[in-house]
Amino acid sequence: MDVSGVPVKLDPLNIPGKQEVVVKAKSMNNGIITVGFSSATALNTGTSHFKLYAWDSIRVVVDDLDDIWIDATYSGDGVEWILDIK
């Protein structure tokens, strides 16, 4: 995450069939990561997102990683993700 207040998509990665992805806020984050399914819903000043504090995670089911948008309240904060393709 480069700039706070500018939602970005996660990198594209086709996931065969819809699979569960775990998105986790990095442990060294200073602020809040907001997660949504569009730029508008991920915007950290909005109200339609999930909030992740350092170490928090959320599980989402998607067919491409870039279906997930994130924003941050602190520039430089970010997320990690993992999935187990079945």
- Note the pLDDT of residue 4: 87
- In the chain, what are the domain boundaries? 8-83
pTM comes to 0.90
pLDDT computed for residue 51 by the predictor: 94
Residue type, 57: S
Report the 10 Å Cβ neighbour count for 44.
Answer: 20
In the predicted model, residues of the chain with pLDDT beneath 50 are none
Counting Cα atoms < 13 Å in the Cβ hemisphere of 13 gives 13
User: Given this model, what pLDDT does residue 3 score?
Assistant: 79
Please report the pLDDT score of residue 85 as a whole number: 74
